[in-house]
Structure 1
């Protein structure tokens, strides 16, 4: 695998390896700070300003952007433009749009707000896969280092939530301007990232490249097809957490919503550091299964949590985020890289994972969640919220059972 002579050679050790890890960790910190600064409490913001009926649409733009961005930018990321230069361009332009968004979060301009948010997310969502690609390609065979670097993304999300909460901005449109500052900073910082090479060009038509045919060819492997199917399905109930956790937590009487939801990322950080050992020790299937089961348990806790004697269930449900996210999405990214490496389509495969999870799955989840939310009264009570959370709880449990009885980890058999 060819890399630029910028210290990103995965074979380097000592201070050079430490510098590479530090550079990639800073990238991940800012990458997820930008997202965490606004998405965590956006539902509360929209409900507060009187456009709660648009929450479902607002949280559908990310999935739509994942789909559009994967096709429009997948070819460039995988073939023609260096990943770091795409990071520069997308984060700089995205930062400008973030500065504009707060002025549109009003009942009169709510529709325009959703459309501009869609434009922003078309720019942002591909950078999630790009960041993974830069880190994984920089480390080469040392994929066990990836969870450590990815942990700094979680730390960035935590820091964003704490700042928003402590500043009293949990219900304010100004959350977008906080994200804008860091987006601009990341765009400029991306000039310094390792210049990993694009996937080797293949003798194929432009149309095949645009639609990432090589990456989709990985789905011919039964185990990878089942993984991608279950990853898509579990993202449906996942979407409801991102969209409605903040108004639900606010309804329990908790005032520092941003800080409270940051507890979930704190637990994510704890489990992140154990991922290399867990992945080597148990393989991908047990980790993915535990992650899916944790989603079912989390929603069940939300379904019994309230602002009184059962407030513990709310905090515990939030704290489960570490298991929910790390055991499924981080392990899933490593597994995807393992399957894609022999074919030389890492960038496309990571983009495809984003397409199916943050794209198709969360789009379906956002719209289904919007239908369920529409059944609630204008000012939902705790009892109303509890009833709604049973639906994703049952769905996640069914998906976990489906995965348990159909998935087999072929990579461990090959390695053995």
Structure 2
């Protein structure tokens, strides 16, 4: 790949994930503090991303892949998204906010696949070249968190305006990306929906993994929806910036996956990640910003091993089990189930749970954070028991 193309794709990835990170992490804080919503409404707002994740593969497979150049569609979606984000920054009514966030996530989620498509089409060896490009997306997320936290605007509409400005910039920039014309082929609805991958459920161990993967996303939604409001409530300064330590640990553990996978195998990798999830939630339950502040930072830093060792290992396991004919369908199915169905359920469960453990005192909501974080810890512990006794790692004994 020419160096100039590598630079252009790296900038694309940086901006793609900067846009997302600029508003997503702190949306819960914005809703609770600025729009004065309840926790149930926060969960409902975050559920929109899961709804979009369910619909996005249909849009990409049935429309985008057949009729439009990826870079032009990418630019168009980001320009429309920039306009929606700018409108969101002026909204003070939650019902209007919810519909606009749904509209924006429907516009944004297809762009993740589109950026990957643009990148892959320029590569001769995707396995070797793509990680060096994709890592700039994580860098973009980190920069967004540091900027929002450093400016102390976590409860401000400026987060949406920063995201809108960067989306507009990426929208314009996308039209100068390498040409990625559509693939002229008949849409395969079975492949798009992952129907062909259902044969994986003939394998009992894969079925156990699949159920666990869906279930583990329910407690994961607690972290995505309420970690930033929780840290701010604990008095942590620059909470959004400090949460980027999780992405830094993600980079580190990503490098360790090949070594650990060879040494531990699938089952131990997945169990280790789930155990760290329990430790994270317990650290949040008993941590505070005084003598136990280290527990809060430990919970953030555990993000790398929690995310990488479960999701990346799960993707590798799925790829090995699927076989050549249904690799794409299998990856689409697991993404649909986790980020779609699992996170959708988790968003509402986290919202109702947080709302149930809150008390209104003189117009101010006080949250029983210890009880709140014990709920995802308990759900994850059940997942560990289920997985431990029913999963068999036939590839590593």
Question: Shorter chain as normaliser: what TM range?
Answer: 0.7 to 0.9
Question: Using the alignment, how far apart are the partners of 2:71 and 2:262 within structure 1?
Answer: 30
Partner of residue 303 from structure 2, selected from 317, 321, 327: 321
Task: Tell me which moved more, 34-43 or 147-156.
Answer: 147-156
CA contact (8 A) 2:197 2:326 kept: no
Q: Which residue of 1 aligns with 2:341?
A: 360
SS at match of 2:244: helix
Residue 261 (structure 1) shift? 1.4
Given the superposition, is the C-alpha separation of residues 43 and 28 from structure 1 closer, same or farther in structure 2, using an over 3 Å criterion?
same
Instruction: Indicate whether 1:52 and 2:33 are aligned.
Output: no
Residue 329 (structure 1) shift? 2.4
Q: Which residue of 2 aligns with 1:3?
A: none
SS at match of 1:37: helix
Instruction: Indicate whether 1:152 and 2:139 are aligned.
Output: no
Given the superposition, is the C-alpha separation of residues 156 and 359 from structure 1 closer, same or farther in structure 2, using an over 3 Å criterion?
same
Deviations 1:193-235 (A, max 9, x none): 5738759647x6xx54664433555555545443332221111
Partner of residue 279 from structure 2, selected from 297, 314, 334: 297
Q: Which residue of 1 aligns with 2:352?
A: 371
Question: Using the alignment, how far apart are the partners of 1:292 and 1:153 within structure 2?
Answer: 25
Partner of residue 289 from structure 2, selected from 301, 307, 317: 307
Count of aligned positions: 390
Q: Which residue of 2 aligns with 1:230?
A: 212
Given the superposition, is the C-alpha separation of residues 153 and 281 from structure 1 closer, same or farther in structure 2, using an over 3 Å criterion?
farther
1:27-42 aligned at under 5 Å gives the runs 27-42=12-27
1:145-184 aligned at under 5 Å gives the runs 146-184=130-168
CA contact (8 A) 2:45 2:101 kept: yes
State the TM-score, normalized to the length of structure 2: 0.86
Given the superposition, is the C-alpha separation of residues 225 and 26 from structure 1 closer, same or farther in structure 2, using an over 3 Å criterion?
farther
Question: Using the alignment, how far apart are the partners of 1:406 and 1:196 within structure 2?
Answer: 46
Question: Using the alignment, how far apart are the partners of 1:349 and 1:130 within structure 2?
Answer: 19
Question: Using the alignment, how far apart are the partners of 1:35 and 1:272 within structure 2?
Answer: 21
Task: Tell me which moved more, 322-331 or 147-156.
Answer: 147-156
CA contact (8 A) 1:134 1:196 kept: no
Partner of residue 255 from structure 2, selected from 262, 273, 276: 273
CA contact (8 A) 1:166 1:256 kept: yes
1:125-136 aligned at under 5 Å gives the runs 125-132=109-116
Instruction: Indicate whether 1:74 and 2:61 are aligned.
Output: yes
Given the superposition, is the C-alpha separation of residues 264 and 284 from structure 1 closer, same or farther in structure 2, using an over 3 Å criterion?
same
Q: Which residue of 2 aligns with 1:103?
A: 90
SS at match of 1:103: coil
Question: Using the alignment, how far apart are the partners of 1:28 and 1:201 within structure 2?
Answer: 29
Given the superposition, is the C-alpha separation of residues 222 and 242 from structure 1 closer, same or farther in structure 2, using an over 3 Å criterion?
same
CA contact (8 A) 2:37 2:94 kept: no
Question: Using the alignment, how far apart are the partners of 1:174 and 1:401 within structure 2?
Answer: 44
Q: Which residue of 2 aligns with 1:115?
A: 99
Residue 137 (structure 1) shift? 6.8
Deviations 1:24-82 (A, max 9, x none): 44333222211111111111111111433221211111111111223343333555555
CA-based RMSD of the aligned residues comes to 3.1
Residue 323 (structure 1) shift? 1.2
Deviations 1:319-378 (A, max 9, x none): 1111112222233344445555712652x5444333212211111111111111111113
